[in-house]
Every structure is written in C-alpha cells, then in structure tokens.
Amino acid sequence: MRWSSGGRSSDIEDRRGMGGGFGFGGGGLRLGLGGIIILLILSVIFKKNFFTLLSTDSGSPTAVTQRDPAADAREEPMVQFVSFVLDDNQKTWREVMGPEYQKAKLVLFRDVVQSACGTAQSATGPFYCPGDNRVYIDLSFYEELKQRFGAPGDFAQAYVLAHEIGHHVQNLLGVDDKVRQAQRGDPSSANSLSVRMELQADCFAGVWGHSTQQRDLLEEGDIDEALNAASAIGDDRLQRQGTGTVNPDSFTHGTSAQRQEWFRRGFDSGKPDACNTFQ
C-alpha cells in the first residue's frame, strides 16, 4: 500500500503500559506495589487468594503493564501506519456520509485495557466498543495475524482496522442498536445476526478499499492480502484449526468464503448500499 507518514493521528489514544499495579474487573481499581506485596503475603499465609476480595466482579485481577520505551520505539512505525489508515478511513466515510459521520478514536493498548464495554485482553483481538465510540487494538495482534494466521502484508493490517471502523459506521447508522434489540427479543437469532453484522463491517472495509484504489494507493497484491486476511479469520477456518471440527450453529463472524465475498462486494461497488447483509 502506498502511504506516507504524517505523524500520529489526533484521534489516537495511546494507553500502552498505562498505570501500575493491578486492575480489577470493570471497577478500574488500582493497587500500589506495597499493597500487592501485602496481599501476596496474606494469600500465602492463609492459603487464600486475597486479591479476589478486592474485585468488583467475579473476575480475577489482571496485570497492568508498565511503560516500555523500547517496545514503544519498536512499534512506532506501526503507530505511524495505523494513524494513516485511521485518518484515511475516517476521511473517506466523512465524504460518504457527510456531517452524519462523527470520528471514532483508536486506542492503542498492551496486554489489557478498560473500555466502556468492559475489560479486554490482547487475546480478544481488535474490537470496537459502541459505548465509547472507540476501536481498541494491541499492535502485537498484527504479528499474530502474520505468524499464527498466515496473513502478512500491510493491506491485511489495514483491512483489520477498516473492519473495526465499519462497526463504528454501523453504530452511527443505528444498525448496532437495531441488531442488539433484535438479539434481545429473539436470543436464538443472536449468532446469525452477529454474523450479518460482521459481514457488513467486512463490506464497509471493502468500500474504503475501493476508495484507496480510486486514489491509486494500492499496490500489486494488496487486495489478495486483504482477502487472505478475511479468509484467515473465518469462523470455519478458526474452528477447524482449534478443534478439528466445524459447528456452523456457533458461528459469529461468518465463514472464510463469506468474509471474502462481502469484502469484495464493498470493494467492487464502492457503495455502502451494496452492503445490506440483512436482506
């Protein structure tokens, strides 16, 4: 992908390694080093996990990493890249939607993060929280995308972020609220509606991809990178890799073929109207 570094986006919030001590569940509590040591000693003496007594929910404490300047420096080229992709996505959707489009924020974190949707860890993968209009990503996911999922390339990385911005577009259009309401009304439809949501976000990512093609930002092989990434994170492929079996009833994001198909629809048309996965 042809891109140029313009510095960090003003819509990025860098929370990598923020805070110290431990965070507990959704309450956002923090302990200093002295408090941690005291609870650790009490836990050893009484053979009981005293950390859980401070949790505001049923979860266990999750470590909050310290700032790592060396790691920050290594990730800086990626920060510059996601800044470009974020700003370019949002510029595109502003042109498509007009004043109705309100910018999302992109939160960079490491290991664990607190959002309006609750506490999330890196293993969750990138996600969008409609409660605070923010996309969350641990940049180490991109290495996992390359190594574990076999989906290398900068446009594969751009597709992932464009997909999450697609969820933001859904939130602005009211699709998110309608789907959640339908899921509450008919819990048996929750998974199938989730699949339709995810496929529409893939299609919206394709709409942005179409825009980059029109502006000659794409290089040879870029679309193949995006399609490969879409295939790599299809429900059927992930289930087959994880358990050796495939259970369509438990799908939440769509098959590899479906994800590729809907990204391609958005890319070929360049029009959000082509992304009605709910018909």
Spacing of C-alpha 35 from chain mean position:
33
Q: Which residue has the tokens 């299609």?
A: 203
In this structure, the answer to whether residues 121 and 98 fall within a common structural domain is yes
In this structure, the answer to whether residues 53 and 108 fall within a common structural domain is no
The one-character DSSP state at 153 is S
Per-residue pLDDT of the chain (279 residues; tens, 9 = 90+): 999 888 899 999 999 987 433 333 333 333 444 444 554 555 555 555 544 444 434 444 444 456 677 778 889 999 999 999 999 999 999 999 999 999 999 999 999 999 999 999 999 899 999 999 999 999 999 999 999 999 999 999 999 999 999 999 999 999 999 999 999 999 999 999 999 999 999 999 999 999 999 999 999 999 999 999 999 999 999 999 999 999 999 999 999 999 999 999 999 999 999 999 998
16 lies in some domain: no
In this structure, the answer to whether residues 43 and 73 fall within a common structural domain is no
Instruction: Tell which of 63, 92, 121 closes a domain.
Output: 63
Say how many residues make up the chain.
279
For residue range 64-109, what is the model confidence (pLDDT) as tens digits?
456 677 778 889 999 999 999 999 999 999 999 999 999 999 999 9
Instruction: Tell which of 42, 63, 84 closes a domain.
Output: 63
C-alpha–C-alpha distance, residues 18 and 180, integer Å: 32
CA angle 169, 173, 177 (to 5 degrees): 105
In this structure, the answer to whether residues 242 and 120 fall within a common structural domain is yes
In this structure, the answer to whether residues 152 and 263 fall within a common structural domain is yes
Q: pLDDT value at position 155?
A: 98
In this structure, the answer to whether residues 233 and 182 fall within a common structural domain is yes
- What is the phi/psi pair of residue 67, to 5°? -65, 135
45 lies in some domain: yes
C-alpha–C-alpha distance, residues 180 and 187, integer Å: 10
Based on the structure, what is the number of domains in the chain? 2
In this structure, the answer to whether residues 91 and 36 fall within a common structural domain is no
In this structure, the answer to whether residues 53 and 174 fall within a common structural domain is no
For residue range 255-277, what is the model confidence (pLDDT) as tens digits?
999 999 999 999 999 999 999 99
- The answer to whether residues 107 and 13 touch, using CB atoms and an 8 Å cutoff, is yes
- State which residues form the domain around 46: 22-63
In this structure, the answer to whether residues 38 and 125 fall within a common structural domain is no
C-alpha distance from residue 126 to each of 145, 268, 273 (Å): 11, 25, 26
Spacing of C-alpha 224 from chain mean position:
21
29 lies in some domain: yes
